Structure formats: structure tokens, C-alpha cells
């Protein structure tokens, strides 16, 4: 019975980790797509900065309470593509000392989208 419960706890932790990783990936893509959109003037740094702030607010909203603990990195962006990287500690179901055993102690996801340009 104890072994069954241990496997059950491991499975729950794995499912929570996979759900969080999937949510972070989706939020990263949505945020990068917002900034890369044609509505943003990519020649104006202030416009890009405002778009990033709006995208970060939306990504934090998409992630819920987990969004308050993550870090956004836009350093890979340039005038042809937008890249956002989201890093944070994964939600925990295990005891804090056993989190690393499931291999799900950190979430690090990135999304890269080409800048839209009118032709």
C-alpha cells in the first residue's frame, strides 16, 4: 500500500509539472506573438517596451498565481524576431526536499516569433 501511494504522489507531481510547463510554453508564445505583431512600431524602442509590458501583464494573468513567481527575459530579441524566455520554480506537490527527484524543480521555456511587417 505504501509503494502504491508513493507512485501515486509521483504521478500527481509529474502531472502538475507537465501542466505548468505546458501553460508556461503557451503564455510565452502568446506574449512573443503580441510583441511581434504589426501593431507594434519596431523602429521605436518606447513602443516595443510598452508592448513588452503589456505582454508581460497578459502572460502573468494567463499563468495565474504561478505568474507572480516567474522571470521574463527578452534579451534574445532584435528587429527581425522577438524572443521571450520564462524561468521559474515549478509548483510543488512533493515535500520540498524530494522535488529534485521528479526532475521538475525548475521550468525554463522560450518562444521565438518573427516580427510581422507590412508589405
Tens of pLDDT, residue by residue, the chain (119 residues): 989 988 888 888 888 888 999 999 999 999 999 999 878 888 888 988 999 999 999 999 999 988 888 999 998 778 889 999 999 988 877 666 665 665 667 899 999 999 987 76
Query: Has residue 119 been placed in a domain?
Result: no
Looking at residue 66, what is its pLDDT? 87
Note the pTM of the prediction, 2 decimals: 0.83
Query: Has residue 92 been placed in a domain?
Result: yes
Q: Print burial letters for 70-101: b (CB count within 10 Å at least 16), e (below 16).
A: bebebeebeeeebbbbbebebbebbeeeebee
Query: Has residue 45 been placed in a domain?
Result: yes
Looking at residue 39, what is its pLDDT? 83
Query: Has residue 65 been placed in a domain?
Result: yes
**Residue 55, number of CB atoms within 10 A of its CB:** 25
Looking at residue 15, what is its pLDDT? 86
Residue-range definition of the domain harbouring residue 13: 2-114
Amino acid at each position: 500500500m505504501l509503494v502504491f501511494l508513493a507512485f501515486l504522489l509521483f504521478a500527481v507531481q509529474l502531472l502538475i509539472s507537465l501542466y505548468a510547463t505546458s501553460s508556461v510554453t503557451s503564455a510565452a508564445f502568446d506574449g512573443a506573438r503580441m510583441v511581434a505583431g504589426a501593431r507594434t512600431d519596431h523602429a521605436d524602442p518606447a513602443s516595443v517596451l510598452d508592448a513588452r509590458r503589456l505582454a508581460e501583464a497578459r502572460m502573468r494573468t494567463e499563468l495565474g498565481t504561478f505568474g507572480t513567481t516567474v522571470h521574463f527575459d527578452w534579451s534574445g530579441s532584435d528587429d527581425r524576431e522577438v524572443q521571450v524566455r520564462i524561468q521559474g520554480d515549478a509548483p510543488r506537490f512533493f515535500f520540498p526536499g524530494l522535488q529534485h527527484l521528479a526532475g521538475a524543480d525548475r521550468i525554463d521555456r522560450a518562444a521565438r516569433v518573427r516580427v510581422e511587417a507590412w508589405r
